[in-house]
């Protein structure tokens, strides 16, 4: 399956063309608030590098967030437009799930910078069937979410990894909270931005399992709101 994957949830815009599990072309660039100006040129560049046209794509994959509100909104709207214009199926994937896929532990904790001195967090358990959500996208202050993740890790008693852009500013807070976890691995910051190639693979597996998303019904995952809180808050 020939998949174009796009993630605009962070300051690093990512586009990749994956065909039958093989990476054909990819581009990552620090664009900050310029996703709206750079996304389509980046898509065109990746397609050219892969010697592929939009008409030849069999699936479009988009990172849904959480992350940059503006970036996610631009990415989802762009992929919806491509899907509707060309009749290409599309699948949306949670940003936290893509990051967890890049991590290594049996329990994979994700911390994404949410600005405003907050962090988006999630937790997934790696099983033979894939990643199973333990905590799916909540938010709070660095100390709140660090304690919540520590409680999950202590209860699971599994080898644990921590990944994401939330470590850039709040590493000390997370390290202090997770100190009791003897089997903790903190992934390098080079993995903190979602990989478009891993997004593509996750979308292929999701599509095989339950089919494409309805473009008209697919919405970004913003998380920050009354319907997404940490357990017990």
For residues 21 and 88, membership in a common domain is answered with yes
Domain check: are 135 and 206 in the same one? no
My answer on whether 45 and 155 are in the same domain is no
Structural domain contains residue 230? no
- Domain-located, residue 122: yes
* Number of domains forming the structure of the chain: 2
In a domain, 216, yes or no: no
Q: Are 85 and 122 contained in the same domain? A: no
- Same-domain check for residues 47 and 62: yes
**Longest CA span, the chain:** 52
Kindly give the confidence (pLDDT) of every residue in the chain, 233 residues in length, as a single tens digit, with 9 standing for 90 and above: 999 999 999 999 999 999 999 999 999 998 865 667 889 999 999 999 999 999 999 999 999 999 999 999 999 999 999 999 999 999 999 999 999 999 999 999 999 999 999 999 999 999 999 999 999 999 999 999 999 999 999 999 999 999 999 999 999 999 999 999 989 999 999 999 999 999 999 999 999 999 999 999 999 999 985 445 566 55
The answer to the question of residue 223 being in a domain is: no
State the CATH number of the domain containing residue 169.
Answer: 3.30.420.40
Residue 176 sits in the same domain as residue 126 = yes
For residues 78 and 148, state if they share a domain: no
pTM: 0.93
Same-domain check for residues 27 and 142: no
Q: Looking at the domain assignment, is residue 64 inside a domain?
A: yes
In a domain, 222, yes or no: no
Question: 116 and 89 in one domain?
Answer: no
Residue range of the domain that includes 138: 104-191
């Amino acid at each position: 399956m020939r998949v174009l994957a796009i993630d605009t949830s962070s300051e690093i815009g990512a586009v990749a063309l994956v065909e039958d599990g093989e990476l054909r072309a990819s581009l990552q660039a620090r664009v900050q608030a310029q996703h709206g100006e750079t996304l389509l040129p980046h898509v065109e560049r990746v397609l050219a590098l892969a010697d592929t046209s939009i008409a030849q794509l069999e699936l479009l994959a988009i990172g849904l967030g959480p992350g940059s509100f503006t970036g996610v909104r631009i990415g989802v709207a762009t992929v919806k437009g491509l899907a509707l214009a060309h009749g290409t199926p599309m699948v949306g994937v949670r940003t936290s799930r893509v990051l967890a896929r890049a991590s290594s532990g049996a329990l994979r904790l994700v911390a994404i910078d949410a600005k405003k001195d907050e962090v988006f967090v999630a937790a997934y358990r790696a099983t033979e069937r894939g990643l199973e959500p333990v905590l799916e996208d909540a938010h709070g202050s660095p100390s709140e979410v660090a304690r919540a993740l520590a409680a999950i890790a202590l209860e699971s008693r599994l080898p644990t990894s921590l990944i994401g852009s939330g470590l850039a500013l709040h590493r000390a807070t997370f390290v202090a909270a997770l100190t009791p976890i003897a089997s903790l691995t903190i992934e390098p910051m080079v993995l903190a931005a979602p990989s478009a190639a891993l997004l593509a693979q996750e979308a292929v597996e999701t599509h095989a399992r339950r089919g494409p998303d309805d473009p008209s019904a697919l919405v970004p995952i913003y998380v920050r709101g009354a319907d997404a809180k940490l357990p017990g808050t």
